[in-house]
Structure 1
Amino acid sequence: MSGIGEASLILGLISSIITVIDTTKQVYDAVEDEAGLPKNFKKSAAKLPLILKLLEDAEKFVGNTPDDSVKAAFTPTLENCKLQAISLQKLFEKVMPEEDDSRVDRYLKAARTIGKGGRVESLILDILRDLQLLATQFPELTNTRGQGQLKEAIEEVGKMEPSLPDGFENTASYAHYGSGAQNINTGTGVQYNNNSTGNMNTGSGTQYIGTNHIGRPS
């Protein structure tokens, strides 16, 4: 592939990632009420401007680099970065709107479609690490300040508490993060639930509930 064609391919890839990250940022910025939003979404969204800046630096670097082998070295890392960015965008688009389901419940459902690595902080961390890999291979990609900010961001995101429990991607598991009751009996035997006020009477013989007489069949 000619130098012009190689550069065009990589620049197009970077541009597409910038568009995805910018769209994700706009989705978050449009939120007026953050009630019920998992805290790691806010922390992760705070890293989006830095990611955009580093991608723009990479775009300039590739555009000004005549060496085709350098440009080609960007491709695998950028392709992985784009996959993570698209998953991140999907999470934000599914979780941010105010709908009937709680944001946390919608987050769980959306993360399960991604599978392992679908936590918001995991996706942000993967993107930052991809950018760090490029900055390590090509120190001239960004300035010293940008490299320092990138290192700090990776350390901060890496220390975040998991926003979803281990095994969240297993759809056979039972989890309820919203309001209201959840009654599950996965084994044998009787399950008694009283989700309101008042008494719940159980017994092996005759029961009297209100004016009704319930006898146990012989």
Structure 2
Amino acid sequence: MVLGMINGLEIVSLIDVSIDIIKLISELHDAIKSFEGLPKAFQHVNEQLPLVLDTLTRAKERVPQLEATTRVFVKEKLQQCEKKASELLEIFKYLKETQGNSIMNVYKRVVKTIGKRGRVEDLMKDILSSVKELSENQVFQLAGQVDKLQNALDTLAQVIPSLADSEMESMNGGTNPEQFGDNNVQNWSVGDGDAWNVTGVVNRGQNFNQSNHYGNMINTTVAKDPWAWLLDNLSFKDWLKPGFWKKVFWLFGEPGFGKSALCVHAIEASEKLFRDRSSRSDPAAFYFYDYGEEPENDTTVYLNLADSLFRQKYAFGDQVSDKIFAFAGSRATGPLLKEFIKAIIEELQVAYIFLDGLDEVLHDSLRANRALQTLNFCLSLTEQKEFDVKVWCSSQDRVKIRTAIEKYNAGFWLHLTGEENAPDIEILVRTSAEQMQKDGPDGMKLRHLHEVMHTIKGNFLWASLAVDSIVQAGPNYLYTSFY
């Protein structure tokens, strides 16, 4: 009984995903339907969306406890439906981004990356066929939908193709990609219905690891410009210089000492350098490991790095090089992503990679193994002669991390202690306290501040907790207990 319920929930989840995608496609069609030159096939496709939505909704309402063999069939059809719907969604999304400019150039490019069945009408036919096969299965009791779905298929068969058959044959026969113009959109297939495109969007409409953004790493209570000492540190300044022979920077220290915040400042410094060099402000390549996050898979970190590095080189609409375009359509495995990262760095010539918190995942053998493999790969890039890669690592001092970094003599090690943190923590505590209470004897304020500083001993985590306690206590308590 329990197993049957689980199977049913799995089917419902698959249906929900396709329903959400179909709804998004409908919304995007409303945004692009007035674009000049949009093939009429798009309108015909949009007209079939309500039927697909209705059929999937009916199927969801009637999900039974399936036998194992039936469940495999149903799951396969729903995955096929989701895959085609996801590819269709990508087309609509990219056309919306064009804002009506050169839409056919972009459309052709996306269709090419999808493959022989990449036209919108072909994708909709495949969606209808999958849904029709589900309806024909007696477990769903949807016989009334079968004729409607067949009529929809017959209608689409009469639609003027959005791209001529001859053009499709030419596109899929290895035609030079440059013939399609400058508006260049690239995807490659990840398998099982996922696709990664080089602008950094997953088919299901999610940005790569949006929660893994360094903007979330700094507590908003921190005073302006703390940790500025890092930017004046001679070792860091040398490491940051393009072409400088020491290419690895390891910042290590105890928990709560502000390593992640310093990593953020290092990233911002590299981004400023990048802006000065190229007049663009794309993000650095980074990954923040987190104890509480979902475990990374074989490609999680590489996808994040590849996405950021690509966007440093290319903006939407840029023509990518033949070497980068050659990756389109390939299955995005770990080894292939490594090759892609090397290829894009070779075009950039100078790249900065930041890895923070590797110690956060050492408790899990699988996550630890993947994290250390990623670290070793990034470190190996620093030895390549074809380009200049700088790697930053911030973590606690752990044997496995130290062992990996020790192999590379061309680097700086900086042990973060309370001595470096003391001025910044004083700024944090003093500013936060003074913002809450301007009055009080200065001598008493200074004396008690020193007592708090002595207790904190260079630990930003403890400092943040102290500030939180001050905030929660309120002004009356400040007079008696803090000041």
State TM-score, norm by structure 2: 0.34
Which letter maps to 1:107? Y
**Residues 159-212 of structure 1: CA distance to partner in whole angstroms, max 9, x if unpaired?**
2232213323344277569xxxxxxxxxxxxxxxxxxxxxxxxxxxxxxxxxxx
| Residues 109-143 of structure 1, C-alpha deviations (whole Å, 9 max, x = no match) | 11112111100000000000001111122275325
- State the AA in 1 paired with 2:176: A
| Counterparts of residues 64-79 of structure 1 (less than 5 Å) | 65-69=64-68, 70-79=70-79
Q: Quick one: distance in 2 between partners of 1:78 and 1:134?
A: 8
Number of corresponding residues: 175
Match of 2:15 in 1: 14
C-alpha distance in structure 1 between counterparts of 2:6 and 2:141, whole Å: 21
Q: Which residue of 2 aligns with 1:142?
A: 142
Q: In the alignment, what sits opposite 1:80?
A: 80
Does the CA-based 8 Å contact 2:32-2:95 persist in structure 1?
no
Q: Which range is displaced more, 1-10 or 105-114?
A: 1-10
1:47 aligned counterpart, secondary structure: helix
Say if 1:5 and 1:139 are closer, same or farther in 2 by CA, change over 3 A: closer
Deviations 1:3-26 (A, max 9, x none): 111111111010001001111111
- Distance in 2 between residues matched to 1:37 and 1:136, nearest whole Å: 34
Q: Supply the distance in 1 between the matched residues of 2:143 and 2:25 (Cα, whole angstroms).
A: 25
2:168 is matched by which residue type in structure 1? Answer: D
Alignment-derived partner of residue 104 in structure 1: 104
Offset at residue 149 of structure 1 (A):
1.6
CA contact (8 A) 2:40 2:160 kept: no
- Shift in alpha-carbon separation, 1:53–1:100, aligned structure 2, 3 A: closer
Tell me, yes or no, if the aligned pair for 1:31 and 1:97 is still in contact at 8 Å.
no
- Identity among equivalent positions (%) equals 26
AA at the equivalent of 1:78: L
In the alignment, the residues of structure 1 paired with residue 20 and residue 97 of structure 2 have an alpha-carbon distance, to the nearest angstrom, of 20
Task: Extract unaligned runs of 5+ from structure 2.
Answer: 182-483
Aligned match of 1:114? 114
Q: How does 1:44-55 map to 2 (within 5 A)?
A: 44-55=45-56
Aligned partners of 2:11 and 2:100: how far apart in 1? 42
Q: Which runs of 5+ in 1 are unaligned?
A: 178-218
Distance 1:129 1:108, change over 3 A: same
Matched with 1:25 is 26
For 2:5, the equivalent position in structure 1 comes to: 4
Separation in structure 2 between the aligned mates of residue 36 and residue 4 of structure 1, nearest angstrom? 49
Stretch deviating more after TM superposition (10-19 or 135-144): 135-144
SS of 2:32's equivalent?
A: coil
Distance in structure 1 (CA, Å) of the matches to 2:154 and 2:179: 30
Relative contact order (C-alpha < 8 Å, sep 6+): which is higher? 1
Distance, in Å, in 1 between the alignment partners of 2:88 and 2:100 is 22
Contact persistence 1:57–1:141 (CA under 8 A): no
Q: Describe the shift of the 1:103–1:12 C-alpha distance in structure 2 as closer, same or farther (beyond 3 A).
A: same
What residue number does 2:356 align with?
none
Which amino acid in 2 is paired with 1:158? A
Matches within 5 A, 1:124-135: 124-135=124-135
Aligned mates of 1:61, 1:171 — CA distance in 2: 47
Secondary structure of 1:46's counterpart equals: helix
Q: Map Cα deviations across residues 80-110 of structure 1 (whole Å, 9 max, x no partner).
A: 1110010000011112345374211111011
Shift of 1:32: 6.1
Whichever residue aligns with residue 87 of structure 1, its letter is E
**1:166 correspondence with 2:168:** yes
Give the alignment's TM-score, normalised by structure 1: 0.72
